[in-house]
Amino acid sequence: MKKHLFLFSLLAVAVLSACNKTPKDPEPVAVGLQLVCDGDNFAVADLTVALQDADASFTLESKTDASGKASFLVKPGVYSATCTYVTSEDGQRLAYSGGTSPFTVREETPSTYNLTLQKVASRQIVIKEVYSTGCPKEPSGSYSNDAYIILYNNSDIEADATNVVIGMLFPYNAQGNNKFYGEDGKLIYEHADWIPAASALWSFTSEVKIPAYSQIVIALYGAVNHTETIPASVDLSNASYYWMSKNEQFVNAKYVVADAIPQSHYLSSVPFNMGNAWLFSNTAPALFIGNMGKAEAEALALNTEAYDYTQGTGASNQAVKFPQAKVIGCVDVFSAANVSTSKLRFPASLNTGAVTITGKLGYTVYRNVDKAATEALPENEGKLVYDYAMGTVDVGGSTDPSGIDAEASIANGAHIIYLQTNSSAGDFHQRKQSSLKK
């Protein structure tokens, strides 16, 4: 009997001990998150992957290795992961972002899960303004040696413009005889891989970086203070500006530059048409920017096999076949006096409309503001200026439908995102005054 009582007591103690024992915490489990984009591993190092538990009670972060994999040690449970990466490449802003569905990490089961990123590309460098039709000259006439263009970084990260090439299309004026239209009424290169560049291709001669939401001004002929002789003109002598410089062929007297502008800001070109100046239209130009290194652009300009003579015979009419795939921005301009006889010069894949300009009044082609995107920037709160009054609707022209005064807002500390709809008619308007005149 005592023996049975003793055994019962030992069993009771064992049961009580088992009931009072604290369960052992599960050991951390190794978990990998492999970045994937377009079905392949996204092998970029030092990207931050955030891992969150199901209750959102805590978040862990880890950097990817060279293969694009981030590693964690976590307790068993349910988790999800996210990653965002923004960069730029060939004149585009590239945003990669994505996340996983909730996944279960089980005890002692090391696992790697795919985190799929979606790629969203947008043009980072845009043509913000084109000023080329001239301004009034007292006591009479007009003046157009003050032409310029502005390139703008339409994004929140620094843009590399070093390989931006600048060109224009045949015919020089939208109202000119355009022999590139076939009998079917369509451009012969509409579905080809090229566009007919005219006169010259211009390249930067040094590294060019454009900070976020900032711009560079490029003088087409005279990079001087034109207001000293023409009060209605503009001052292009700022040391930060760029200049399309002289070369062996372009020796026209209007090619002048201020001492303040450094030689590193001179652009270079290899002309492939006749004339002692770049024949940029002062009534209705078709301007484009592309992504092409200086050496490649110069080689293309000199490559006779890349020439096209649809517009006519001889050196004055030879066009260079510039690759459509290399174009990162363009604008087609019609003269208000010749709209009925004007034709679009870019294929629909690059542009589907034209902006109209009235010449010789100091008016300029200016890009519209993307209202929704600009207003969505949190840093713009209280800084945007409305009731835009620089449009020309009162004289039969156009205006910015956003109602935001971009230049006044910029002066007020705001960041502007400009519209990109693939149509010059929708993306630009006629502005009463150059943005450089304050």
H or E element in which residue 302 lies: helix 294-302
Q: What is the pLDDT of residue 345?
A: 98
Task: Quick: pLDDT tens for 239-263.
Answer: 999 999 999 999 999 999 999 999 9
Task: Quick: pLDDT tens for 353-397.
Answer: 999 999 999 999 999 999 999 999 999 999 999 999 999 998 879
Residue type, 358: T
Fold of 29-122: Immunoglobulin-like (2.60.40)
CB count within 10 Å of CB 50 equals 16
Task: Quick: pLDDT tens for 286-337.
Answer: 999 999 999 999 999 999 999 999 999 988 999 999 999 999 999 999 999 9
- Written as six digits, the tokens of 143 are 């003046």
Find the range with the poorest average confidence among 12-21, 97-106, 274-283: 12-21
CB count within 10 Å of CB 24 equals 6
DSSP 369-408: B-HHHHHH-GGGTTT---S---B-GGGT----TT---HHH
Whether 117 shows a pLDDT value over 70: the answer reads yes
Domains of the chain, residue spans? 29-122, 124-368+418-431
pTM for the model stands at 0.86
